């Protein structure tokens, strides 16, 4: 399907056609795509702590909640708070990056859920931990197609962490991901291509609905991958899905159609506002250009007309995010925020507030009793 006419795949996206499952072997494939039974609900979980609304007491610079960033072992809580204060970021989502370095990979990772929870206990108004899903055991075909022991363990552990009240969501799930080597010496070698409608993602979608917990998903919107995302959304309408990087760098009209169909779908704009010469971020055609890739801003940071119209029309469905993914890149964290404020300044005041912090207030401020 990757070589098909992109106009055909877009029409399929709007209809939610599941063509890849309509071929032979449907019965066996469907059985493998059924979600796992969730662990027994048992006693009610602990309610998540109340997060005071961001936006009060900030004068001058627009406060920006960093909804898409990652936690690594070698970045201390105090260093993050210092950088956030300098950048005008009152709150940060922590998605741990579990990946370790290897002969092929340099990740600056080795973060953990326990580290994220500990940072949030020390700075409860500043950090919001998500259960980290960038894990070595998920870089495997087997775990997505077969309910392995590791898969069942991960589901049980994630359910327990969400029931604890300390974790607010899950992510980032890496489904369709392009490998890269950047100028900082980071090497992410895995060309990931895992199905959004697999039994494992469907199980996590059930967990999202059970705990009212957002799940952040990285999935470049190639036709086959986008069709699988639509099937996941169709089968799990109660799940709260944040499709990262502007719905996998989809076009404005495709995102408009998705938002119309799926009221629990959101998009983060992690890394999407950075552009210009030598930029290595999702705001440009990096690290691989495809026919299905659409940008948000031009080389100078001006919003493209169709994206500006979409952000105004659906400002309640987007989140800001820097997508700092590696420890050594945090040295430059403060330099990421001026571009965000420039882009937000091109929108109406209400749309800018929604994307900067108000949407995060709403989504993270309500929790099951």
Contacts of 134 (CB under 8 A, 6+ apart): 70, 95, 96, 97, 98, 99, 109, 172, 174
- Output the average pLDDT for the chain: 90
Stretch 40-62: mean pLDDT:
80
183 or 70, which is more confident? 70
**Interatomic CA distance for residues 111 and 125, integer angstroms:** 20
Residue 115 Rama label (left phi>0; alpha psi -120 to 50; beta): alpha
Stretch 7-30: mean pLDDT:
40
| Contact indicator for 342, 92 with CB cutoff of 8 Å | no
Pick from 65, 343, 74, 35: nearest CA to 208: 35
pLDDT tens figures, 175-184: 999 999 998 8
Contacts of 24 (CB under 8 A, 6+ apart): none
| Contact indicator for 347, 297 with CB cutoff of 8 Å | no
Domain limits, the chain? 69-365
Which range, of 18-27, 174-183, 253-262, averages the lowest pLDDT?
A: 18-27
pLDDT tens figures, 114-147: 999 999 999 999 999 999 999 999 999 899 989 9
The residue assigned the tokens 């019965």 is 27
Decide if domain 69-365 falls under CATH 3.20.20.140: yes
pLDDT tens figures, 139-169: 998 999 899 999 999 999 999 999 999 999 9
Work out the pLDDT band at 33, boundaries 50, 70, 90. confident
């Amino acid at each position: 399907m990757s070589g098909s006419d992109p106009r055909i795949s877009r029409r399929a996206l709007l209809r939610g056609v599941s063509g890849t499952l309509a071929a032979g072997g449907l019965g066996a494939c469907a059985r493998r795509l059924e979600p796992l039974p969730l662990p027994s609900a048992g006693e009610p979980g602990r309610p998540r702590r109340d997060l005071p609304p961001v936006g009060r007491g900030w004068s001058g610079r627009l406060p920006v909640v960093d909804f898409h960033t990652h936690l690594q072992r070698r970045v201390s809580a105090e260093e993050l708070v210092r950088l956030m204060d300098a950048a005008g970021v009152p709150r940060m989502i922590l998605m741990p990056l579990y990946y370790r370095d290897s002969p092929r990979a340099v990740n600056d990772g080795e973060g953990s859920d326990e580290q994220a929870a500990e940072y949030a206990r020390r700075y409860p108004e500043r950090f919001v931990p998500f259960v980290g899903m960038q894990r070595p055991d998920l870089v495997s075909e087997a775990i997505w197609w077969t309910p392995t022991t590791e898969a069942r363990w991960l589901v049980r552990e994630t359910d327990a962490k969400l029931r604890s009240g300390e974790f607010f969501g899950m992510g980032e799930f890496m489904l369709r991901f392009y490998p890269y080597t950047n100028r900082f010496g980071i090497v992410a070698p895995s060309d990931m291509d895992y199905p959004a409608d697999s039994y494992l993602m469907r199980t996590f979608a059930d967990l999202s609905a059970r705990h009212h917990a957002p799940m952040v998903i990285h999935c470049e919107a190639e036709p086959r991958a986008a069709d699988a995302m639509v099937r996941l959304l169709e089968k799990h309408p109660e799940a709260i899905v944040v499709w990262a990087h502007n719905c996998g760098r989809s076009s404005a009209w495709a995102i408009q159609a998705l938002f119309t169909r799926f009221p629990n779908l959101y998009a983060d704009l992690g890394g999407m506002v950075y552009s210009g010469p030598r930029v290595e971020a999702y705001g440009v055609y990096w690290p691989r250009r495809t026919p299905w890739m659409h940008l948000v801003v031009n080389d100078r940071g001006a919003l493209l007309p169709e994206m500006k119209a979409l952000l105004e029309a659906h400002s309640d469905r987007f989140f800001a995010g820097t997508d700092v993914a590696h420890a050594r890149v945090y040295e430059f964290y403060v330099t990421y925020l001026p571009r965000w404020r420039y882009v937000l300044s091109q929108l109406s005041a209400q749309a800018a507030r929604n994307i900067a912090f108000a949407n995060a207030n709403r989504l993270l401020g309500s929790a099951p009793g």
